[in-house]
Amino acid sequence: MLPAPRAMTIARAKNERVIGHFTTAGQSQKTACRDHRRRLRRHCGRQGIATLRSRCHGHRPPQPSHLPTPVVPGGNGSARTRRCRRTDSAAVSATKNVSVLLAEVIGVDLESRSVDVKYPGAADKKITFDYLVLAAGVQSSYFSHNEFAKYAPCLKTITDAQAIRSKILSAFELAESTDDEDERRRLMTFVLVGAGPTGVELAASIAQMAKTTLRANFRRIDPATTSIVLLDGAKRVLPSFAESSSVKAAQRLAKLGVKVITSAMVEHIDDQGVTVGGKRIDSGTVLWTAGVSPSPIVKMLGAATDRAGRACVGPFLNVADSRGIFVVGDAATLIQDGRPLPGVAQVAIQQGRYVGGFIARELGGGKPPRPFRYFDKGNMAVIGKNFAILESGRIKLAGIIPWFIWAFIHIMFLPQLQNQRRVQNQWFWSYFTGQRSSRLVDEAPRI
Active site residues: 201
- The residue (of 12 and 156) whose beta carbon lies closer to ligand FAD is 156
Q: How far apart are CA 123 and CA 107, in angstroms?
A: 14
Which amino acid is located at 242 in the chain? A
3-state secondary structure of 179: coil
- The residue (of 104 and 232) whose beta carbon lies closer to ligand FAD is 104
Q: How far apart are CA 66 and CA 414, in angstroms?
A: 11
- Looking at 40-48, 60-68, 231-239, 242-250, which segment touches ligand FAD (CB under 6 A)? 60-68
Other CB atoms closer than 10 Å to residue 166's CB: what's the count? 15
| Residue 106 beta carbon to ligand FAD: minimum distance, rounded to whole angstroms | 7
Residue 383 makes contact with ligand FAD by CB under 6 A? no
User: For residues 1-30, which are near ligand FAD according to CB under 6 A?
Assistant: 6-8
Residue 257 makes contact with ligand FAD by CB under 6 A? no
**Contact (Cβ atoms closer than 8 angstroms) between residue 105 and residue 297:** yes
Residue 71 makes contact with ligand FAD by CB under 6 A? no
User: For residues 94-153, which are near ligand FAD according to CB under 6 A?
Assistant: 104-105, 135-137
- The residue (of 224 and 409) whose beta carbon lies closer to ligand FAD is 409
- The residue (of 171 and 200) whose beta carbon lies closer to ligand FAD is 200
Phi, psi of 154 (to 5 degrees): -105, 170
H or E element that contains 408: helix 400-412
- The residue (of 223 and 357) whose beta carbon lies closer to ligand FAD is 357
**Contact (Cβ atoms closer than 8 angstroms) between residue 23 and residue 32:** yes
| Residue 344 beta carbon to ligand FAD: minimum distance, rounded to whole angstroms | 3
| Residue 321 beta carbon to ligand FAD: minimum distance, rounded to whole angstroms | 22
Q: How far apart are CA 79 and CA 62, in angstroms?
A: 9
- Looking at 18-26, 315-323, 344-352, 369-377, which segment touches ligand FAD (CB under 6 A)? 344-352
| Residue 335 beta carbon to ligand FAD: minimum distance, rounded to whole angstroms | 17
Phi, psi of 229 (to 5 degrees): -120, 125
- The residue (of 214 and 295) whose beta carbon lies closer to ligand FAD is 295
In sequence order, the 6+-apart residues with CB closer than 8 A to the CB of 38 are none
Q: How far apart are CA 222 and CA 211, in angstroms?
A: 9
Return the residue of 208, 295, 305, 333 that touches ligand FAD, per CB under 6 A: 295
| Residue 311 beta carbon to ligand FAD: minimum distance, rounded to whole angstroms | 11
Return the residue of 63, 141, 212, 213 that touches ligand FAD, per CB under 6 A: 63
Contacts by 409-416, CB closer than 8 A, 24 or more apart: 409/380, 410/62, 410/66, 410/67, 413/59, 413/61, 413/62, 414/61, 414/62, 414/76, 414/77, 415/59, 415/60, 415/61, 415/77, 415/80, 415/85, 416/80, 416/85, 416/86
Q: 144: buried, middle or exposed (CB in 10 Å: 19+, 13-18, 0-12)?
A: exposed
Interface mask toward ligand FAD for 296-335; x: CB under 6 A: -x-------------------------------xxx----
Which amino acid is located at 291 in the chain? G
- The residue (of 287 and 363) whose beta carbon lies closer to ligand FAD is 287
| Residue 345 beta carbon to ligand FAD: minimum distance, rounded to whole angstroms | 3
Question: Which of 78, 123, 134 minimizes the C-alpha distance to 327?
Answer: 134
| Residue 102 beta carbon to ligand FAD: minimum distance, rounded to whole angstroms | 9
Cβ-closest position to ligand FAD: 329
Interface mask toward ligand FAD for 168-207; x: CB under 6 A: -----------------------------xx---------
Return the residue of 344, 355, 390, 414 that touches ligand FAD, per CB under 6 A: 344
Phi, psi of 241 (to 5 degrees): -100, 170
Q: Tell me the number of residues near ligand FAD by CB under 6 A.
A: 26
Residue 80 makes contact with ligand FAD by CB under 6 A? no
Phi, psi of 428 (to 5 degrees): -60, -45
Which residues lie near ligand FAD (CB under 6 A)? 6-8, 57, 63, 65-66, 104-105, 135-137, 155-156, 197-198, 295, 297, 329-331, 343-346, 348
